[in-house]
Amino acid sequence: MSKACTLAIDAMGGDHGPDVTIPAALSALRKHPELDLILVGDQAILERGITAARANHETRLRVHPASEVVTMDDPPAQALRYKKDSSMRVAIDLVKSGQAHACVSAGNTGALMATARYVLKTLPGIDRPAICTTIPCIGGRFRMLDLGANVDCDAEHLFQFAVMGSVLVEASGDSDRPRVGLLNLGEEAIKGNDQVKHAAQLLQDSDLHYVGYVEGDRMFRNVADLVVCDGFVGNVALKSSEGVAAMISRFLREEFHRNLLTRLAGLVALPVLKALRSRLDHRRYNGASLLGLRGVVVKSHGSADAFAFEQAIETGLLEAHEDIPGRIDNRLGEVFAQEPSS
C-alpha cells in the first residue's frame, strides 16, 4: 500500500471529539507514510489539540474549518438541512470534491448515512446503502450487513447487499471467493419470510458463492465470510451479541472477585484473561463501512477511544486504496449484464 491517500476526518464527531480523533490521526500517520489526513472541525480547538500533542510540524496533517457539529441527538433530516457547515458534512463534501479519498466519522449514524447519501449519491443499481461491519468468530472473522440503515428490505435489496459485501470481503484479502450466507431462523428451505426466501433464489441464480441460510449461532462458527440480513435483524443480532459478551465479561469479573481465594486465582489467571480480553476486544473491529455510495465513508462507534478510532481510519484507508466504490460499481455492471431480467 504505497499509493498516496488522503482521508477527511470528522474531528468533532463522536462522544469524545478531538480528544480521540487527534491522537488516533497522529498514530495512523506514524504507521502509514502514504497517508495524508484532513481534520475537519473547529479550527482553534483542533490547532490547540495538535499543538498540545506537539504535532504542529506534521506536514501530512492539516485542519479544514467547519463551524458546526452534528450532535448524537440531531435528527438526520435536520442535520442535513440545517447544519451545512458541520464537521461531518464538510468531511463528506471533501470526498465529493475529490480532495479526500475517504471520510471517517464517529458521529450520529443516521445523520452520517443521510448526509453521505445526499452528497455522494448511491451507485447505479443500488437502491439503498447498507452498513457493514466485521465480527470475530471461531477460527476467523466474518462481515455482516445491513446493520441498521434499512429496516425493511426486499429480496433485491438483500441481493445488492450480498454483491457489495462480497466485494469488500475480497478486497480485504479475507477470501477470494467469499461464502455468502443469508441470516435466517432455520437452515431448511421452507424457513424464513418471503423476502429471505426470494433473496435465496436470487443468490442461487447468481455467480456469488452462496452457501445457504445461516442461523444466528452458526455464524460464529465460521460458516460464511459474509452474512446478509435486513437492517433490523442485523442490528438486533449485532447488539445482542455485544450484550451477551458484556454480560459474560461482567460475570467473569464478579466470580473472580467473590472472595480472597478467587481473587488470588484471578491474579494467577490474569495473563490468560488479558489474552481473552484482547481477542474479544471490539475496538479492534471498529469501523463500519457505508457501502453502495459513490465514495468511501466509514462510521466509527460513537464511544470509540483513540485505539478504536484508529482502526476506523485503517478501514477507510483500505477501502480508499482498494477503491471499493469503483469495484462495487464494476461488479454491479457484471451482475446486471448477466441478469438482464432484473
Which residues contact a copy of itself by CB under 8 A?
A: 75, 136-138, 148, 151-152, 183-186, 190, 192-193, 215-221, 229, 231-233, 235-248, 250-252, 255-256, 258, 261-262, 264-266, 268-269, 271-273, 275-276, 279-280
| Minimum distance of a copy of itself from residue 137's CB (angstroms) | 6
| Minimum distance of a copy of itself from residue 79's CB (angstroms) | 13
| Minimum distance of a copy of itself from residue 115's CB (angstroms) | 17
| Minimum distance of a copy of itself from residue 111's CB (angstroms) | 12
Which is nearer to a copy of itself, 9 or 149 (by Cβ)? 149
Which is nearer to a copy of itself, 39 or 219 (by Cβ)? 219
| Minimum distance of a copy of itself from residue 277's CB (angstroms) | 10
Which is nearer to a copy of itself, 1 or 247 (by Cβ)? 247
- C-alpha cell read off for 113: 448515512
> Looking at 19-150, which runs of residues are DSSP E strands?
35-41, 61-65, 102-105, 130-137, 140-145
**From edge to edge, which strands make up the β-sheet containing 226-228?**
61-65, 35-41, 5-10, 102-105, 296-299, 288-291, 130-137, 140-145, 226-228, 179-183, 209-214
72 φ, ψ (degrees, to nearest 5)? -65, -20
| Minimum distance of a copy of itself from residue 298's CB (angstroms) | 20
Contact status, residue 329 vs residue 173, Cβ threshold 8 Å = no
- C-alpha cell read off for 147: 446493520
Which is nearer to a copy of itself, 149 or 298 (by Cβ)? 149
Give, as one character, the DSSP assignment of residue 178.
Answer: P
In angstroms, the first-to-last Cα distance of the chain is 37
| Minimum distance of a copy of itself from residue 215's CB (angstroms) | 5
Which is nearer to a copy of itself, 96 or 282 (by Cβ)? 282
Which is nearer to a copy of itself, 164 or 183 (by Cβ)? 183
Give, as one character, the DSSP assignment of residue 207.
Answer: S
- C-alpha cell read off for 140: 476467523
Which is nearer to a copy of itself, 173 or 271 (by Cβ)? 271
Which is nearer to a copy of itself, 96 or 284 (by Cβ)? 284
- Cα 118 off chain centre by: 19
Type and span of the H or E element at 10: strand 5-10
| Minimum distance of a copy of itself from residue 294's CB (angstroms) | 26
Q: Percent helix, strand, coil in the chain (nearest 5)?
A: 50, 20, 35
Give CA–CA dist 342/333, Å, rounded: 12
